[in-house]
């Protein structure tokens, strides 16, 4: 598909005190594609996402967005560029309705009065562009929505602002079978609409169902970034658990360097 | 009943609401645990019926009706402020004595310093704002639980009030403007003008909203419901004004007493203003958001600390107005102004009216409805000759009932939702 990545990370390092969590990480996110970010617990997925979204600042390395080198210091700067993150715990207010949640913190106003009509129209258009037809009313309280619908609202909230890159943190973790399918379909549609989508997931079925590329993190290093069509299920699992699979992944001697950071392993 | 579907707001299919479906939706919400002020309104009707039958001569008299407004003004104002604090799931236990301190500040400036009301009243309001700033900052910036901060302030303000009044001397006030606030009535003509303007304003706002939503192709409440709201409010206000414009003096020749108490439009203005702020402004939206999910609000870029401080400022500001009004009614301030049961009645009023103690749910009107329930219990049981001990017990039980409704509704909502 597209030749140039929308978002390009090179040589990202990040340490918390003496612990280096990310080593020389590179990642490419292409428009119109779903890039799955996989890795075991503690591999550095969340840290990487927080570096991209401006919650953490990187120690070294470059971030290139649409061909221009950028530095992101706060979530606001990330949003301004068009990078939105949908967190696992959704960050929705149960006591507000769908429209109110989608515009939270970025309300449309006419004078000092909230412009409810415009917000309702925009929310409706966004949901329609995602082919969402499962909500009864835009004025429904989020408390009354199902898990899949809540995830839908959270995703719609992220794409409302002409965002270019949407990062989804485990969007299907808490969902049932039918709702998972619904959300995955929505994830696919985001990419089809031309966005660069990063999908963090533990579930290999989900990863293979929707992603075009797979990036596997292993102990803070990017083990491999491959096309989903070129690898098998078990190869990805090997990349996640061992950092390498056949001729893919980190050179064999590399991981042993990091043995010393695991606790209880002496000096 | 047939339902017609309509396409609205950018292509989302929706059921076009009819009066029937609106009522069913409302009933569904009630069953789902979203009761709002329904229990309080029903309770108010039952109480009025009971006291009306038991003491029809005194309780239902126009004199007593007018009296209820003056009696409950302080509690209603403190409760309106507390709604904001409760919306964040916080509490302000010091609001009662804060209102006493602000009232005392006004009385001292009027009487001891001989300053005019237009200096004394702003000074009292400013005192309220400063109190709120301090309390709010301690809660938001230092992270001390509001229960502890305001409990400490409750004790401290009691002391401040004693010191201000030089160890407990009464200060009486004679300023006519201040006394008029919670003692006098509007003339009959003005009473009707104000009532009719209020009804017309409400009708205009409702119809404008309806028209503009229809024009943009959005789903509006059915016109029947809009009409019912306007007619309902009109009947209520006109009936109330009719009763209050009757002669209610025992001896009209010496001292005629008729017209709507001035405190009624004062309450109404603040009710409308704060309802507007909560419902129609970004600030109000953010208050609800922080009360519903502070973390979500923070991620949305809302300054949670600033919202948290602001609700305490509003709470203490409204308490200050309550203090001014109670001093006006008593013509004096004493060390127990804003003490005894005032704070507890105010929290009770907000909660009985339907504001949730868990945060995120509540309206300013709840304070007025709940305040009316408490005033009616207090007044009605007093007229029936019950001792204050019994009145406290009954009020306590009703508050407990309201809190149970709140807690049960919450459990119900979490069971049916998600």
Residues A124, B11: C-beta atoms closer than 8 Å: yes
* Partners of residue A123 in chain B, C-beta under 8 Å: 9-10
Q: Minimal Cα distance from A100: which residue of B?
A: B285
Burial label for B161, CB within 10 Å (0-12, 13-18, 19+), is buried
Quick check: is A106 in a domain? no
Residues B288, A113: C-beta atoms closer than 8 Å: no
CB–CB of B73/B328 below 8 Å?
Answer: no
Lowest mean pLDDT among A139-143, A245-249, B292-296, B398-402: A245-249
Quick check: is A137 in a domain? no
Cα A76–A78–A82 angle (5° rounding)?
Answer: 110
Residues A104, B296: C-beta atoms closer than 8 Å: yes
Q: Which residue has the tokens 């409990």?
A: B151
Q: Minimal Cα distance from B358: which residue of A?
A: A95
Q: Which residue has the tokens 């003005």?
A: B190
User: How close is the nearest chain A Cα to the Cα of B81, in Å?
Assistant: 20
Dihedral of CA atoms A43, A47, A48, A51 in degrees, nearest 10, equals -170
Residues B15, A122: C-beta atoms closer than 8 Å: no
Quick check: is B216 in a domain? no
Quick check: is B133 in a domain? yes
Q: What is the mean pLDDT of residues A80-102?
A: 86
* Partners of residue B212 in chain A, C-beta under 8 Å: 117
Q: Minimal Cα distance from B7: which residue of A?
A: A124
Residues B418, A121: C-beta atoms closer than 8 Å: no
- Structure tokens of B307? 């919202």
Residues B418, A143: C-beta atoms closer than 8 Å: yes
Q: Can you tell me whether residue B277 is helix, strand or coil? A: helix
Give contacts of A 62-121 with B, CB under 8 A: 75-76, 87, 89-96, 100, 104-107, 109, 112-114, 117, 120-121
pLDDT of the residue at B274: 96
Name the nearest CA neighbour of B381 among B368, B392, B367, B397.
B392
Domain count, chain A: 1
DSSP state of B251: S
- Number of residue pairs across A and B with CB atoms under 8 Å? 114
* Partners of residue B280 in chain A, C-beta under 8 Å: 113-114
Domain count, chain B: 1
- Taking the Cβ of residue A192 and every Cβ of chain B, the question of whether any pair is shorter than 8 Å is answered with no
Residues A75, B360: C-beta atoms closer than 8 Å: no
β-strand A165-169 against A196-200: which pairing, if any? Answer: parallel
Residues B289, A136: C-beta atoms closer than 8 Å: no
The pLDDT tens digits for A208-232 are 989 999 999 888 888 888 888 888 8
* Partners of residue A137 in chain B, C-beta under 8 Å: 14, 219
Quick check: is B204 in a domain? no
pLDDT of the residue at B80: 96
| Weakly modelled stretches of chain B, pLDDT under 50 | 1-3, 10, 417-418
**What are phi and psi for residue A166, nearest 5 degrees?**
-120, 125
State CA B136 to chain mean position distance. 21
Quick check: is A185 in a domain? yes
CA atoms within a 13 Å half-sphere pointing along the CA-CB vector of B146: 22
Name the nearest CA neighbour of B99 among B131, B135, B134, B140.
B131
- Taking the Cβ of residue B361 and every Cβ of chain A, the question of whether any pair is shorter than 8 Å is answered with yes
Q: Which residue has the tokens 């003008």?
A: B193
Mutate to test the interface with B, among A88, A104, A141 (most CBs of B within 10 A): A104
pLDDT of the residue at B1: 39
- Taking the Cβ of residue B205 and every Cβ of chain A, the question of whether any pair is shorter than 8 Å is answered with no
B8, containing H or E segment: strand B5-8
- Taking the Cβ of residue B89 and every Cβ of chain A, the question of whether any pair is shorter than 8 Å is answered with no
Quick check: is A21 in a domain? yes
Q: Can you tell me whether residue B12 is helix, strand or coil? A: strand
- Structure tokens of B153? 């302030």
User: How close is the nearest chain B Cα to the Cα of A113, in Å?
Assistant: 5
- Taking the Cβ of residue B357 and every Cβ of chain A, the question of whether any pair is shorter than 8 Å is answered with no
User: How close is the nearest chain B Cα to the Cα of A63, in Å?
Assistant: 22
pLDDT at A2 over 60: no
Longest distance between any two alpha carbons in chain A, whole Å: 64
What are the distances in angstroms from CA B145 to CA A47, B136, B157, B355?
32, 10, 18, 20
Pairwise CA distance, residues A244 & A251, whole Å? 7
Residue range of the domain that includes B302: 36-155+266-407
What are the distances in angstroms from CA B17 to CA A64, A142, B14, B242?
50, 20, 9, 36
Pairwise CA distance, residues B5 & B16, whole Å? 5
Candidate from B282, B293, B361 with C-beta closest to A107: B282
Residues B15, A136: C-beta atoms closer than 8 Å: yes
Candidate from A105, A120, A136 with C-beta closest to B300: A105
Rounded (10°) angle between helices B304-330 and B62-87 = 160
Q: What does the radius of gyration of chain B's CA atoms come to, in whole angstroms?
A: 22
Residues B292, A113: C-beta atoms closer than 8 Å: no
Quick check: is B358 in a domain? yes
User: How close is the nearest chain B Cα to the Cα of A195, in Å?
Assistant: 21
The pLDDT tens digits for B101-159 are 999 999 999 988 889 999 999 999 999 999 999 999 999 999 999 999 999 999 999 99
Candidate from B9, B288, B295 with C-beta closest to A91: B295
pLDDT of the residue at B220: 82
Q: Can you tell me whether residue B360 is helix, strand or coil? A: coil
Mutate to test the interface with A, among B299, B303, B411 (most CBs of A within 10 A): B299
Quick check: is B150 in a domain? yes
**Residues near A252 by Cβ (< 8 Å), separated by ≥ 6?**
A244
Residues B291, A114: C-beta atoms closer than 8 Å: no
Quick check: is B413 in a domain? no
pLDDT at A162 over 90: no
pLDDT of the residue at B27: 81
Dihedral of CA atoms A258, A259, A260, A265 in degrees, nearest 10, equals 160
Name the nearest CA neighbour of B84 among B405, B321, B304, B361.
B361
**What CATH number is associated with residue A181?**
3.40.50.300
pLDDT of the residue at B387: 85
Quick check: is A233 in a domain? yes
- Structure tokens of A25? 């990480």
User: How close is the nearest chain A Cα to the Cα of B302, in Å?
Assistant: 6
Name the nearest CA neighbour of B380 among B11, B110, B45.
B45
Name the nearest CA neighbour of B381 among B368, B371, B370, B395.
B395
Residue B25 backbone zone (phi > 0: left; psi -120 to 50: alpha; other: beta): alpha
pLDDT of the residue at B166: 84
Quick check: is A189 in a domain? yes
- Taking the Cβ of residue A143 and every Cβ of chain B, the question of whether any pair is shorter than 8 Å is answered with yes
Residues B212, A123: C-beta atoms closer than 8 Å: no
pLDDT of the residue at A100: 92
pLDDT of the residue at A128: 84
Quick check: is B316 in a domain? yes
**Residues near B272 by Cβ (< 8 Å), separated by ≥ 6?**
none
Mutate to test the interface with B, among A120, A127, A139 (most CBs of B within 10 A): A120
Pairwise CA distance, residues A218 & A41, whole Å? 10
Cα A112–A117–A120 angle (5° rounding)?
Answer: 120
Q: Minimal Cα distance from A102: which residue of B?
A: B300
Quick check: is A104 in a domain? no
Candidate from A87, A93, A117 with C-beta closest to B218: A117
Q: Minimal Cα distance from A55: which residue of B?
A: B299
CB–CB of B97/B154 below 8 Å?
Answer: yes
CB–CB of B300/A75 below 8 Å?
Answer: no
Name the nearest CA neighbour of A123 among A145, A98, A144, A148.
A98
Residue range of the domain that includes A31: 7-94+161-261
Quick check: is B239 in a domain? no
Quick check: is A228 in a domain? yes
Pairwise CA distance, residues B44 & B374, whole Å? 9
State CA B215 to chain mean position distance. 34
SS (H, E, C) chain A: CCCCCCEEEEEEEEEECCEEEEEEEEEEECCCCEEEEEECCCCCHHHHHHHHCCCCCCCEEEEEECCEEECCCCHHHHHHHCEEEECCCCCCCCCCEHHHHHCCCCCCEECCEECHHHHHHHHHHHHHHCCCCCCCCCCCEHHHCCHHHHHHHHHHHHHCCCCCEEEEECCCCCCCHHHHHHHHHHHHHHHHCCCEEEEECCCHHHHHHHCCEEEEEECCEEEEEEEHHHCCHHHHHHHHHHCEECCEECCCCHHHHHHHHCCCCCC
**What CATH number is associated with residue B330?**
1.10.3470
pLDDT of the residue at B218: 82
Strand partners, B388: none
The pLDDT tens digits for A168-215 are 988 888 777 888 888 888 889 888 888 899 999 888 888 898 999 999
């Amino acid at each position: 598909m597209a030749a140039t990545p929308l978002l390009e990370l090179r040589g990202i390092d990040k340490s918390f005190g003496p612990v280096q969590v990310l080593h020389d990480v590179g990642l490419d996110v292409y428009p119109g594609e779903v890039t799955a970010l996989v890795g075991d617990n503690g591999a550095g997925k969340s840290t990487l996402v927080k570096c991209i979204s401006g919650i953490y600042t990187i120690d070294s390395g470059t971030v290139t967005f649409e061909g221009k080198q950028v530095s992101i210091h706060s979530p606001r700067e990330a949003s301004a560029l068009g990078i939105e993150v949908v967190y696992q715990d959704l960050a929705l207010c149960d006591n507000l309705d769908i429209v109110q949640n989608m515009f939270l913190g970025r309300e449309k106003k006419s004078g000092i009065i909230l412009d409810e009509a415009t917000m309702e129209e925009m929310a409706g258009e966004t949901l329609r562009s995602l082919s969402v037809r499962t909500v009864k009313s835009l004025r429904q309280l989020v408390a009354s929505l199902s898990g899949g619908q809540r995830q839908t609202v959270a995703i719609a909230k992220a794409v409302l602002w002409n965002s270019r890159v949407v990062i989804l943190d485990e969007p299907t973790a808490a969902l049932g079978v039918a709702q998972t399918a619904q959300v995955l379909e929505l994830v696919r549609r985001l990419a089809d609409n031309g966005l660069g989508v990063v999908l963090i997931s533990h579930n290999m079925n989900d990863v293979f169902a929707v992603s075009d590329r797979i990036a596997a993190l292993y102990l803070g290093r990017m083990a491999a970034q491959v096309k989903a069509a070129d690898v098998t299920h078990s190869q990805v699992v090997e990349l996640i658990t061992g950092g390498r699979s056949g001729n893919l992944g980190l050179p064999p001697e590399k991981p042993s360097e990091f043995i010393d950071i695991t606790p209880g392993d002496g000096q | 009943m047939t339902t017609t579907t309509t396409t609205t707001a950018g292509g989302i299919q929706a059921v076009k609401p009819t009066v029937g479906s609106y009522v069913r939706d409302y009933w569904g919400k009630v069953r789902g645990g979203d009761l709002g002020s329904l229990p309080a309104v029903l309770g108010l009707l039952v109480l009025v019926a009971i006291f009306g039958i038991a003491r029809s001569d005194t309780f239902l008299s126009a004199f007593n009706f007018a009296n209820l407004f003056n009696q409950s003004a302080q509690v209603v104002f403190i409760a309106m402020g507390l709604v904001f604090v409760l919306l964040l799931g916080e509490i302000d236990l010091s609001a009662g004595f804060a209102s006493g301190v602000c009232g005392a500040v006004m009385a001292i400036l009027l009487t001891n310093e001989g300053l005019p009301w237009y200096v004394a009243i702003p000074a009292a309001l400013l005192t309220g704002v400063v109190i709120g700033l301090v309390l709010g900052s301690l809660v938001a910036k230092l992270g001390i639980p509001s229960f502890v901060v305001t409990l400490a302030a409750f004790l401290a303000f009691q002391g401040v009030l004693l010191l201000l009044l030089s160890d407990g001397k009464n200060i009486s006030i004679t300023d006519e403007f201040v006394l008029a606030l919670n003692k006098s009535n509007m003339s009959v003509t003005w009473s009707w003008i104000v009532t009719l303007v209020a009804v017309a304003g409400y009708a205009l706002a409702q119809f404008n909203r309806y028209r503009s939503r229809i024009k943009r192709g959005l789903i509006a409440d059915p016109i029947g419901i809009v009409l019912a709201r306007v007619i309902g409010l009109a009947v209520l206000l006109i009936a109330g004004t009719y009763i209050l414009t009757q002669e209610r003096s025992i001896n009209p020749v010496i001292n005629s007493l008729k017209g709507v108490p001035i405190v009624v439009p004062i309450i109404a203005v603040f009710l409308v203003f704060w309802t507007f702020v909560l419902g129609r402004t970004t600030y109000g939206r953010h208050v609800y958001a922080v009360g519903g999910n502070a973390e979500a609000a923070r991620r949305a870029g809302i300054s949670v600390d600033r919202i948290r401080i602001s609700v305490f400022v509003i709470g203490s500001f409204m308490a200050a107005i309550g203090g001014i009004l109670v001093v006006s009614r008593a013509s004096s301030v004493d060390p127990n102004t804003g003490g005894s049961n005032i704070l507890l009645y105010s929290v009770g009023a907000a909660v009985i009216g339907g504001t949730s103690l868990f945060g995120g749910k509540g309206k300013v009107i709840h304070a007025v409805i709940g305040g009316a329930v408490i005033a009616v219990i207090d007044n009605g049981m007093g007229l029936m000759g019950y001792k204050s001990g019994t009145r406290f017990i009954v009020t306590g039980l009703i508050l407990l009932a309201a809190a149970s409704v709140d807690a049960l509704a919450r459990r119900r909502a979490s069971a049916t939702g998600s």
